[in-house]
Amino acid sequence: MSLVVVGSIAFDAVKTPFGERERMLGGSAVHFSLAASFFTDVRVVGPVGADFGEAEYAVLHGRGVNTDDIERVDGGETFFWRGHYEYDFNQAHTDDTRLNVFGDFEPKLSEASQAADHLFLANIQPDLQRGVRGQCGGARWAGLDSMNLWIETARDSLCQTIAGVDLVFLNDAEIRQLTEQPNLVRAARSVMDMGPKVVVAKQGEYGAALFTENGFFALPAFPLENVIDPTGAGDSFAGGFLGYLSAQDDWSSESTLRRAMTYGSALASFNVEEFGTERVARLERDEIDERFEQFRQITALEAPATA
C-alpha cells in the first residue's frame, strides 16, 4: 500500500521556554511523512527552494520517504516560519511567515502519486486540496487537515473539499467554528453530514477525540515529563494515524480506527520530546510499539495486578 501527502515543506525557527533552533526542517508534509513512514510507503509532494539541500533530503530518505515529487524551484527560497511558545504549548505565536516558493505552489503529481492507494491533503488552500483530490480519484480513502484561516476566508470552498474526503482532522475549536455549533459532539456530526465517515478532533495536550457514524472514542495525550517543542505534533499525529490505517484491510472498522488513533498519539508524543524532526528522525519501530502498549495500560479500565 502507498500513501501520498501534499503539503508544505519548510524551514522553521522556533523558540520555547526550553531552548531554540534558528533553522530546522519542518512543514506539514515533512512531519506527516516521517510519522507515516513507520507503517507504509510514503510519497511527499511539495515545493522547495534552492536552499533545500542534501542534508534535508537525507532526513526524508533516512525513513524511506519517496521525494520524487518534491518540486525544486531554482533560485527560489523554501517556505519559512518563525514562531515561539510560552509555557502554554497549545498556543503558537507567529513572529514571521515567508511563503516564498509555497506562495505559488500548484501541486503537480506524477503518475505514481496519482495512482497511490491513499491520500492525505495537508493544510493548504482548499481549492488546491480539491484539485489534488481530483487527480487521485482512485484512492481507497482520502484524509484532510485545515485551519481557521481557510474557515474564515474560504469556507464554501473548504466545505466542498470536505465533501470529497473520508477523514477530517481539525482541532476542536476549528470544528466548532466551521459548523457554528458550540457543542463538539453536534459539531462533529455536522461535519460528517458533509460527507466524511470519520472526524478527528485534535485537542493538544488533552489528546484527541474520534467521531464516527457508529461510535465515539477519546484518548488522552501521553503523559510526558519533558515537552520541548510541539511544532508539527498535529501532523505527526495524522501521519501515525493514517500511516497505520493505510496498512490495514478493514480501515473503517471501529477497532482499526481506535488503534490508528493510538499510534498517531504515540508518534505525536515522540515529536514533542525534542525540536522539529530531531526525535522522530532517529525513532525506532519498537519504541513506538512499546509506547502503544503503555497507552493500552494507562487507558485500561482495570489497574494492572501488582506483585
User: Which residues are 121's β-sheet partners?
Assistant: 6, 144
User: Measured between alpha carbons, how far is 280 from 158 in angstroms, rounded to an integer?
Assistant: 31
Q: What is the pLDDT along the chain (307 residues), one digit of tens a residue?
A: 899 999 999 999 999 999 999 999 999 999 999 999 999 999 999 999 999 999 999 999 999 999 999 999 999 999 999 999 999 888 889 999 999 999 999 998 999 999 999 999 999 999 999 999 999 999 999 999 999 999 999 999 999 999 999 999 999 999 999 999 999 999 999 999 999 999 999 998 899 999 999 889 999 999 999 999 999 999 999 999 999 999 999 999 999 999 999 999 999 999 999 999 999 999 999 999 999 999 999 998 877 766 5
Is 45 in contact with 69 (CB distance < 8 Å)? Answer: yes
Q: Which three cell numbers stand for residue 219?
A: 484518548
Is 166 in contact with 198 (CB distance < 8 Å)? Answer: yes
Is 252 in contact with 143 (CB distance < 8 Å)? Answer: no
List Cβ neighbours of 265 (8 Å cut-off, separation of 6 or more). 207, 208, 219, 221, 222, 237, 240, 295
Pairing of strands 167-171, 198-202: parallel
Q: What is the pLDDT of residue 302?
A: 78
What's the predicted TM-score (pTM) here?
Answer: 0.96
Candidates 84, 13, 12, 72; CA nearest to 47 is 72
Q: Which three cell numbers stand for residue 208?
A: 484527541
Burial of 226 (0-12, 13-18, 19+ CB in 10 A): exposed
User: Measured between alpha carbons, how far is 192 from 223 in angstroms, rounded to an integer?
Assistant: 30
Q: What is the pLDDT of residue 306?
A: 65
User: Measured between alpha carbons, how far is 123 from 125 in angstroms, rounded to an integer?
Assistant: 7
Phi and psi angles of residue 297, each rounded to the nearest 5 degrees, phi first: -70, -45
Angle at CA of residue 9, ends 143 and 291, nearest 5°: 60
Q: What is the pLDDT of residue 303?
A: 74
Q: What is the number of other CB atoms lying within 10 angstroms of the CB of residue 197? A: 17
Q: Which three cell numbers stand for residue 131?
A: 484539485
User: Measured between alpha carbons, how far is 185 from 199 in angstroms, rounded to an integer?
Assistant: 10
Candidates 231, 10, 4; CA nearest to 101 is 10
What the chain holds in terms of domains, given with CATH numbers, is 2-298 (3.40.1190.20)
Q: Which three cell numbers stand for residue 235?
A: 501532523
**Residue indicated by cell numbers 500511516:** 243
Local structure of residue 165 (DSSP, 8 states):
-
| Start-to-end CA span in the chain (Å) | 44
User: Which residues are 13's β-sheet partners?
Assistant: 82
**What does the chain come to in residues?**
307
List Cβ neighbours of 10 (8 Å cut-off, separation of 6 or more). 25, 26, 27, 30, 78, 79, 80, 81, 102
Residue type, 209: A
User: Measured between alpha carbons, how far is 255 from 9 in angstroms, rounded to an integer?
Assistant: 33
Q: What is the pLDDT of residue 68?
A: 97
Is 131 in contact with 241 (CB distance < 8 Å)? Answer: no
Q: What is the pLDDT of residue 81?
A: 97
